[in-house]
Structure 1
Amino acid sequence: SGRVGESRRRAPSRPRRRSFEARVGVANAERAMPDRAKARPDDARGREPSTAAEDAASSSGRVGGSAFATAAAVAAAAGLLCAASPSSSSSSSARRGPRSGPDESGECEPFVVHGGGALTRELVARCPSLRRDAKYHPPRWLRNAHAQTLAGYARTLTIFLKYDRQIVRCADGGQVGLDWLVRARFGRGGGPPPPPPPPSSKTRRRTVTADDIPPARDLPPTAPVFIMLHGINGGSHEGPTKWAIAVAASRGWRCVALNLRGCNGVKLASPKVYCAASSEDVRAAVDASRARFPRAPVLLAGYSLGTYVIGTYLAEEDSKPKPPGPDGDDGWPGVAAAVLVSCPMDPHSSHRSLSDPERPAGMMYNGAIASELRRYFARHRKNVAEHPDVEDDAFELSSMRTIRAFEESLIVKTHGFKDVEEYYAYFSPARIIPSIRTPTLYLSARDDPFTASDSVEVERVIRGTAHVALAHVAKGGHVAFLERGVGLFGPCWTDRVLGEFLAAALEERSEDARAAHEGA
C-alpha cells in the first residue's frame, strides 16, 4: 500500500482529469437529464477515466487479498489457455436469445426477467441502464470472462477510502466489523497528493460505539444507510466494495462496508464461522444501523457469496412483522431495496462445475479459494475447535483442496446442517426468492465462470414473484462488468445499475409517503 502512495507522489505532473462526481453523476444532476439522454449507449457517465484518489483504503494490509482475487489471478491464465477466446461464451449467450448476446461491436443488451408486480416493473423502468435501447459496452481487450474477472478485482488499486471500524456483537455471540465511510476525496483537483497510508493498515482499528461513529459530512439523520457486503474471505478493502460505496456516497447516502465474522481483521468471537446460509451477520449490521439512525431506510448490496447471505436474510426477515418505530407511529423505515451481483443461481451445479476435470479453469478457481479457506480456518482454529459438533480430525487442513472439503468437515458442522446438499438447498435462490418481499434486483453475466448452467429454474421462480427481478448481460465475468472507456478507473456497469435501482426504490417510497400524507 505504501508503494501505491509513493507511485502517486512521483507523478504530480499527470494531466488533470474530471472529478469522480462529474463522471459518476450525483442524483440531482442525473434526474435533471432527459430520459433519452440517460439511456444513450454513449452516455457520458462512466465513460472517461478518473483517478479517484482518496485518503486511505482498506481494513487489511493486503491489497486485493480476497479468495476471488486470488482465484482470478490463478485462473485468468488458465482461461486464456483453455479456448476462452472472445467468442468462447457465445454459445451460452445464444441459448438465452438475441437480446442477451453481444453484437459484432461487443455491445450487450440487458435481458431483464421479473414477475407481474407493478412495483418491480416500475423500478426497472426507472433504471436507464436496463432500458431496451441501453447497452453494456465491455472493453474490447476484456472479452474473455477470466480476464474480466481478474481485471475486476484489480480495481482495488484504483480507489482509496477511509473508514472507521465499529465492532458489533451478534445475537449468537459472534461479531462483525462495520467500516463506516469517513472521508473520500475524488480526483486530484490540482491539490497536493494525500499522505501515504500507514504501512500496516489503511483503516483505523479502534473500536467505536454507535455514538462515536462520525456521520458523513452534511448528511441528515434520515439519509439512507447503504450497507455493502463482500464475497468469500473478502472485506471493505476490495475494489468491488469500494467502488460501489463510492457510487452510493455520490448520491448522498451514508455508507458502511460489512466485514463478516473472522474476515478482514475481525476476530472470530464464537465457534461459528460465516457461511452462505447464515444471516446473523447482516442482521447485526442492520440492527446497528437502525440503533444509530432509526429514521433512515437501509439499502443492501452484495456480491458473490454476499448475495446468498443477504438473500437468506431478506427471506427470513420479510416473513416477520415490521418492528415499531421509536415513537410508535409508522415505524422504522426498514430495508428499502437490495441489489445482488454475480450470484451463482444454482449452487449445486456451480460447485460441481468447479470440480469438473474438463474445466481446468474452474478447478483452479476451486483450489485457489480452498487455499484462502485454509488460511481462514488456520487463523481461527482455536475458536472453531470449541464447537461441540466439530470432530478432532476435522482440521486436516493440508489435505483439504476443494471448497466442498471445508463445507463437509467444518462449515456444515458449525451450522447444524445434515450434509452439504441440505446446506446448499437452504440458501439456494430458487428456495428463498418466493419469500422475499423487499424490492430486489439480481445482476449477472452469462459468461460468469462461477455459473455452471442457465438460470432457467430461477427465472421461472422470479416470473412468479412480485418483488424480485433478474438482469443479465452476455459478458462481464464474475464481479467485474468493466466498461469501455472506463476500465479499472471508474464505476462498472453493475455499479451504475445498483445506484439507479436503489435510487428508484427510494423515490418510489417517497412518492407513496407523499400520496398517503395527502390522502390523510
Structure 2
Amino acid sequence: MATNRPASASDPSARLDIGRCPVPAWLPGGHAQTLYGAFCAQHPTIHFVRERADTPDGDFVDLDWCGPGLDPHIRPDGHSTPHESGLVGTAASRWIEPADWFRLSPDAPALILFHGLEGSSLSPYMQAIAHAFRSRGWTVVAAHFRSCSGVPNRMARAYYSGDSSEIAFMLDHVRSRLPQAAWHAAGISLGGNALLKHLGEAGHGAQGLRAAAAISVPMDLAACGRRLSETVWGRQLYSRYFLQSIRRKILDKAQQFPGSVDVLRTQHMRSLREFDDLYTAPMHGYRNALDYWTRAASLPLLPGIRVPTLILNARNDPFVPEASLPGSRSTSSDVLLHQPSQGGHASFVTGMFPGHLGWLPTRLHRFFDSGR
C-alpha cells in the first residue's frame, strides 16, 4: 500500500519531486520524445481477454483483462483460439468466460488503466504498463472509454475528459469482479484527468483504491486545449493526427443517429477546439468548448483527493504548458507531484538506441510499493 509522509511547514516542497527521467541524449526535446515514444520506442506486446460490461444508461464499455493464470489464447476448456469474432484488430484475443474468473488470483494486487485521447489497450504506454505489472504477478485491466475498443458504442454520446462517473462505474465493476484484490488505478492523459476528477469529487469515498497515478495529465484543460488548438505544432501535427480517427467516428455517429452531428462542419474541423465545440461539449452537457474545458478540468479538485496519488508530468510535455502544472500547495497532502524536466507526453523513453518504455512502469510500481 502506498503511503506518503505528510508535508510540514519546514518542508514546503515535501509533495514535489523534480527527479529526472533519464531520457537519452540522442532524443532531445519534448516533441521528439513524444513522437518517438508513440511510434518507434520498443515495448513488449501483450494480449488480453475481453469483458463487455453494460452501463446503467444502456451502453457498454469493454475491459481487457490479463494476469498470471489467464491465458488469452487458451479457453478454459483447453481449446486454443485465434482472435474471436469482433476482436480482430484489437489487443484482445478472446472473450472472457465464467470459468476464467477462477483463473485469476482473488487477492493478488490489481491495476486498472485508463487510456488517453483515442487510445486503447493497443497504445504503447498501455502495453508497456500492462506487461510490466502482469510480469510482477498483478492482475491488470485495460479499461476502454466508449467507442475506443474498436467497436462503436450504442449511443450518440462517446467519451470526454471529465467523465468521472464513467470512471466510478468501471472502478466499481472491476472491484465487484475481484473484491479481495488490492486495487490500484492509473490514468494517462485524458484518462488521467478523468481519474483525478473522480478522486477529487469522491474524497474519502474513493478509499476502495489503495493508490492511484495520473500520467501526462492535462489538469488545466483550457490551457492545454489552447496549446493544442492555437500553436503551430498543436494545430498542424497533434490536432491533425487525432482528428483523423475522431472525424471517422463522428461520421459513423451521424449515420447511426441522423441529425445528431453537423456533418458539413465536421469536414472542416482543423483543431481540437473546433471538435469540442461541435461535438464533445453539446453531446455531453456543456455550452461550448470553453465551458467544457473549465468545468471538466481536474485541477480545482486536487485538494479533495484522499487516496495516495502520484501525478507525473514532464515539464517539456508539448501538450501541457509547464505554467499550467500545479504546485505543491495546490493539492492535498495525499498527492505526490513528480515533474521531471524531460519525458514528453505519455512517453518517457529511456535506454540506449532504439530506446524503450520501461521507465514509466517502474516509476509507477515504485510509488505503489513505497509511496515515493
* TM-score normalised to structure 1 length: 0.61
Distance 1:467 1:155, change over 3 A: farther
Could you tell me which of 13, 36, 50 is aligned with 1:165? 50
User: Could you give the per-residue CA deviations for residues 348-376 of structure 1, whole angstroms, max 9, x where no partner exists?
Assistant: 1222122335x345532122222221022
Distance 1:394 1:431, change over 3 A: farther
Aligned to 1:468: 335
Matches within 5 A, 1:86-485: 116=7, 135-154=20-39, 158-181=43-66, 200-201=88-89, 203-204=91-92, 206-208=94-96, 211-214=98-101, 220-318=105-203, 320=205, 334-357=208-231, 359-360=232-233, 362-383=235-256, 385=258, 390=260, 393=262, 396-455=265-324, 458-459=326-327, 461-462=329-330, 465-485=332-352
Code of the aligned partner of 2:167: V
Secondary structure, counterpart of 1:366 in structure 2? helix
Could you tell me which of 362, 365, 372 is aligned with 1:496? 362
Q: How many Å apart are 1:138 and its aligned residue? A: 0.9
Q: How many Å apart are 1:306 and its aligned residue? A: 1.0
Could you tell me whether the CA contact under 8 Å between 2:41 and 2:349 is conserved in 1? Answer: no
Which structure 1 residue ranges, 5 or more long, are not aligned? Answer: 1-112, 186-194, 323-332, 509-520
Secondary structure, counterpart of 1:409 in structure 2? helix
Q: How many Å apart are 1:383 and its aligned residue? A: 4.5
Could you tell me whether the CA contact under 8 Å between 1:116 and 1:466 is conserved in 2? Answer: yes
> Distance between the aligned counterparts of 1:246 and 1:213, measured in 2?
19
> Distance between the aligned counterparts of 2:170 and 2:148, measured in 1?
15
Could you tell me whether the CA contact under 8 Å between 2:23 and 2:351 is conserved in 1? Answer: yes
Aligned to 2:74: none
When Rg is computed on C-alpha atoms for both structures, the one with the higher figure is 1
Q: How many Å apart are 1:215 and its aligned residue? A: 5.8
Could you tell me whether the CA contact under 8 Å between 2:215 and 2:312 is conserved in 1? Answer: yes
Code of the aligned partner of 2:7: G
Distance 1:430 1:115, change over 3 A: farther
> Distance between the aligned counterparts of 1:271 and 1:117, measured in 2?
49
Code of the aligned partner of 2:315: R
User: Could you give the per-residue CA deviations for residues 384-419 of structure 1, whole angstroms, max 9, x where no partner exists?
Assistant: 557xxx4x5366321112111121121111211122
Secondary structure, counterpart of 2:210 in structure 1? strand
Distance 1:238 1:393, change over 3 A: closer
Q: How many Å apart are 1:495 and its aligned residue? A: 1.9
Code of the aligned partner of 2:188: Y
Secondary structure, counterpart of 1:380 in structure 2? helix
> Distance between the aligned counterparts of 1:444 and 1:304, measured in 2?
10
Q: How many Å apart are 1:212 and its aligned residue? A: 4.1
Q: How many Å apart are 1:260 and its aligned residue? A: 1.1
Distance 1:204 1:356, change over 3 A: closer
* TM-score normalised to structure 2 length: 0.83
Identical aligned residues as a percent: 27
Could you tell me whether the CA contact under 8 Å between 1:174 and 1:272 is conserved in 2? Answer: no
Aligned to 2:73: none
Aligned to 2:76: none
> Distance between the aligned counterparts of 1:266 and 1:213, measured in 2?
23
> Distance between the aligned counterparts of 1:397 and 1:265, measured in 2?
21
Over aligned residue pairs, what C-alpha RMSD do you find? Answer: 3.4
> Distance between the aligned counterparts of 1:459 and 1:344, measured in 2?
14
Q: How many Å apart are 1:472 and its aligned residue? A: 0.9
> Distance between the aligned counterparts of 2:266 and 2:199, measured in 1?
33
Could you tell me whether the CA contact under 8 Å between 2:114 and 2:186 is conserved in 1? Answer: yes
Could you tell me whether the CA contact under 8 Å between 1:230 and 1:236 is conserved in 2? Answer: yes
Q: How many Å apart are 1:315 and its aligned residue? A: 2.2
Code of the aligned partner of 2:275: F
Secondary structure, counterpart of 1:339 in structure 2? strand
> Distance between the aligned counterparts of 1:460 and 1:135, measured in 2?
17
Which structure 2 residue ranges, 5 or more long, are not aligned? Answer: 71-79
> Distance between the aligned counterparts of 1:422 and 1:460, measured in 2?
27
> Distance between the aligned counterparts of 1:281 and 1:504, measured in 2?
29
> Distance between the aligned counterparts of 1:360 and 1:204, measured in 2?
33
Q: How many Å apart are 1:135 and its aligned residue? A: 4.6
